[in-house]
Amino acid sequence: MRVELSSKKLQSEFVKKVTELSGQKLNLCYQCGKCSAGCPMSDAMDILPNQVMRLVQLGLEEDIGGSKAVWLCASCLTCTARCPKGIDLARVMEALRLLTLRKNKNYVEPSKLPRETIAALPQIALVSGFRKLTS
Ligand code: SF4
Ligand code: SF4
């Protein structure tokens, strides 16, 4: 019983943090799927944007943390423009990335990038990638 209470508390803290950081009313999402249908990155994502929303609503932080979807999000705002409930999903994605980075976890480790990759990529791509993917 104590474990259940403690996990419920953690779950609500996660939902609260995402709500605060994104400024969105997460419970408004009713899984229409319009965000995923228009997302230009959905083919590369392991879970779709609407599924990210559902996992957030359920407070399943670990399932989201193990996915690459939030890191592949290009912040293009297509989902935001299409959502019939006015949810800015791009901001939810950003909030989820921030929660990981605030734990001082990098999604990409700059020191582990192969020299050839660094040489091949334009500097602006590296800078913008590191800003998004490192803490
Ligand atoms: S902002 Fe992210 S999740 Fe939304 S449509 Fe663009 S790439 Fe997809
Ligand atoms: S478009 Fe909006 S309401 Fe529909 S699934 Fe996406 S976030 Fe939820």
The residue whose C-alpha atom lies closest to atom 8 belonging to ligand 2 is 29
Better pLDDT: 133 or 83:
83
Q: Which residue has the tokens 């994502």?
A: 45
**Same-domain status, 94 and 54:** yes
Q: Which residue has the tokens 């083919």?
A: 43
The closest ligand to the CA of 73 turns out to be 1
pLDDT in tens, 44-68: 999 999 999 999 999 999 999 889 9
**Same-domain status, 19 and 49:** yes
* Rounded Cα gap, residues 102 and 83, in angstroms: 28
**Same-domain status, 24 and 70:** yes
Least confident of 36-50, 57-71, 103-117: 103-117
**Which structural domain range is residue 132 located in?**
108-135
State yes or no: pLDDT of 112 exceeds 80. Answer: yes
**Same-domain status, 113 and 93:** no
The residue whose C-alpha atom lies closest to atom 8 belonging to ligand 1 is 39
**Same-domain status, 78 and 117:** no
Structural domain tally of the chain? 2
Ligand 1 pocket, residue 36 CB under 6 Å: no
Alpha carbon distance, N-terminus to C-terminus of the chain: 36
Q: Which two tokens stand for residue 31?
A: 């899984």
Length in residues, the chain: 135
Ligand 1 pocket, residue 118 CB under 6 Å: no
* Rounded Cα gap, residues 135 and 36, in angstroms: 27
Show the ligand 2 pocket: residues with CB < 6 angstroms. 29-35, 50, 53, 82-85, 87, 89
Domain with residue 55: its CATH number is 1.10.1060
**Same-domain status, 112 and 68:** no
Question: pTM score, two decimals?
Answer: 0.85
**Same-domain status, 98 and 114:** no
**Same-domain status, 82 and 127:** no
DSSP state, residue 111: G
